[in-house]
Structure formats: structure tokens, C-alpha cells
Amino acid sequence: MQVKRRQFLQMAGLIPALTLARPRQVLGAVAGRTRWRMGVQWTADMPLLTRGAFAFAREVALVSESRLAIDVNVAGEGAPPGGILAQVAAGELDCGHVLFSHQQGTGAALEVFASVPFGLDAAGMNAWLYHGGGLPLLREAALERGVFALPMGDTGGGPFAWTRGVDVATDGVSGLRLPARGLGARVLAAAGAQVPEGLPATGAAMKAAFASQHLDGAWWHGLACEMALGLDAAADAVLLPGWLRPSERLVLILNKAAYEALPAVVRHMLDVCAAQADLRIQAACRHAAAAGWADLLRRRPDMPRYFPARQLRRLHDAADDVLQTVAAGDGLASKVLGQYRAALPRAGRGGRWPGNGGTRGTA
């Protein structure tokens, strides 16, 4: 056992994974083994993200020699997608895989770690989190909500929206019915868009609302998931650049008591598995997005449309105003945003999502 454990720690760079279980529950009747229950925000029709969660769980069981097993519950199998944070904090779940901006009761500080309009892309988030002081801030903000949090994946963001019959040349997003949560919703509202209450909780509901013209634009957790859902088939244009969601950082959240009850070596194994899953989920999303974008351009080369530069400047100003207001009203959000903005010149501003035409329309 010692050799296997030592080999794992030495070769951590080669390992993926995630698994969940109910806290402190003994596996069968074997002492020292724990089963957790994990809730994921993703529905069964989002295989890139659900596969990442299941792979993480399998890897944790493997490297811990079944000292920790994680049962993964896909959204719709017992927990509302937006309530996972509250359930993990309350101990109803031991852990969860979520996007903070889509969780109820998150707060502005944690929304920064999901995505910031005109902010860091996925690579920039990696630089900030792992080398720019972002991880301690993530831990601090998550503990205010009663959980531990570790980065575990990034969809890479995507285009601004899939649209039909929309012209942003004159009025930008003013008057458009657009679905959004978190900081993005505040920016769109400040720019004059209509952000409906009761936004679709699943991809199927998002597609239905868009197809029935209840929404003027739609998106759903990165280009790969959006194309798998068929949003491209329901749209006549894809609007670029992807300034609203330059990244979408996913996180593993952990019930504080359940995590602290694990032996230190098992906690370390779980942490390393989460870091590996972070890399692998990002790579899977980026690869699928690049392939999907190439296929879209082959089939529908006239589909990409671009915000005029003057509209982007107005939207950028609106985003700056919203972030200043958020920081002024929340001490922890102010601290997180201050360090996030300081990282922008070093880590790289996002919005130049792969396939968005580079800097076209942003001058």
C-alpha cells in the first residue's frame, strides 16, 4: 500500500478524477472506509461535464484504495441544479461539482470565480488561481458559505450568444431578452437588456425557450455543450466576441465537516485528483469546442456576426460600472475583485475565445 501511495503522489501529474459519497458513512462494514454522495449541476445530456465528475470519483476510489468512495448524482436525480451549494453546506451532500454563478445564495465574491465579463479567459484563470493568489481567496470566499472549494474544470466560455433575428449594430443589447446569471446578468441589465426571472434550469429548457422565441439569444456552458444541445441549429447567427463569458470556472465544493473528518493522506489524494480533473475537463472542453467550431464554419461560414467596436466600448464601460458598484457594497467582493483586476495585465484578459475571429470587432 505504501508503494502505491508513494507512486501516486510522485506521478500526480498523470492522474484524472472525481467521486462522491455520504459523509462519514462506513463503506459496507469495513472500518476506515467512507462513502460520500456528490451532486453535480450537470444533466445527463452534458456528457463532457458529467464524464469529468464520474472520472474524478473513480480516480479518488482507485488511488485511495477505496478508503473514499464517491457516488455521483447527476442533476435531476434528486437535487435541483441550483441548490447544490446549499445542500453541501448543510451536509445533505458531501460534495458537489458546480458553476457558482448558477447556484442560489452564492454572493458576489464567489461569482467572480465563475466568470467576469471582459475578464480572464480559462488560461488566465489558471494563472491567477495557481500562481497569482487566487486559490486562497477562493478558499476564503467559499468558507463564508460553509464549504471548501477547489477548481475543477472550465468550459472555456464561448461566443456571446446564439441568436435569431438580432442586430446589435445600432442599439447593442438594449431591449434584447437574454438569459444570464451572476455578474453577467448585472452587466446585461445595466446595458439595457431584459434578463428574465426564472431562467431555464436545464439545457433542454433553454433550447425550448429560445426555439419558442421567448429569448432572443441563448447559451449553455460553453460552445461544445451548446452545439451538442442544438442551439446552433435553432439560430441564424452566433454573436462574437465572447466577452460575457470569457471563462466558466467549475469548482468542486466540499462539506467542511466531511472533508476535515478524512485522514490527512486521503484529503491530499482528493486534492490532487481534483487538480488533475481540473486540467482534464478543461482540455476536453477546449478540444470539443475547437472541433465544433471548425465544423460550424465548414457548414455555415456566414453564421458568425460581430459587435461593432463602439458597442463593445459601451458594454465594457457598463461592466466597469457594475464591478465598481459590486465592490463598493461587499467587502469580500471588493478584496477578490481588487486582486482579480491586478492579475489581468499578467494573466491575460479574455473574450478572445477560440474561433471568435481573434480581435475582429474589438478595436
pLDDT higher than threshold 90 for residue 135:
yes
- Spatial strand order of the sheet with 237-240 comes to 217-218, 161-163, 237-240, 304-306
pLDDT confidence of 271, banded at 50, 70, 90? very high
Query: What pLDDT is stored for residue 197 in this prediction?
Result: 85
pLDDT confidence of 198, banded at 50, 70, 90? confident
pLDDT higher than threshold 70 for residue 245:
yes
Residues 70-105: b if buried by 16+ CB within 10 A, e if exposed: bebbbbeeebebbbbbbbbbeebbbbbbbbbbbbee
Instruction: Identify the CA nearest to 143 among candidates 107, 102, 184.
Output: 107
Whether this model's pTM surpasses 0.85: yes
For residue 296, give the amino acid letter.
Answer: L
Residues contacting residue 281 through CB under 8 Å, at least 6 positions apart: 48, 49, 52, 152, 153, 154, 250
**Mean predicted lDDT score pLDDT of the chain:** 88
Question: Is the bond leading into 354 cis (omega within 30 degrees of zero)?
Answer: no
Query: What pLDDT is stored for residue 349 in this prediction?
Result: 64
SS3 152: strand
Distance CA 101, CA 139 (A): 16
Residues contacting residue 147 through CB under 8 Å, at least 6 positions apart: 85, 88, 89, 253, 254, 255, 256
Between 24 and 118, the more confident residue is: 118
pLDDT higher than threshold 70 for residue 356:
no
Query: What pLDDT is stored for residue 79 in this prediction?
Result: 58
Cell of residue 43, nine digits: 444533466
Between 201 and 350, the more confident residue is: 201
C-beta of residue 70 within 8 angstroms of C-beta of residue 61: yes
Average pLDDT over residues 145-165: 96
pLDDT confidence of 81, banded at 50, 70, 90? confident
Query: What pLDDT is stored for residue 31 in this prediction?
Result: 57
Lowest mean pLDDT among 65-69, 203-207, 247-251: 203-207
For residue 25, give the amino acid letter.
Answer: Q
pLDDT confidence of 188, banded at 50, 70, 90? very high
Distance CA 61, CA 113 (A): 28
Distance CA 161, CA 242 (A): 8
Angle of CA points 171, 310, 177, to nearest 5°: 30
Distance CA 215, CA 225 (A): 18
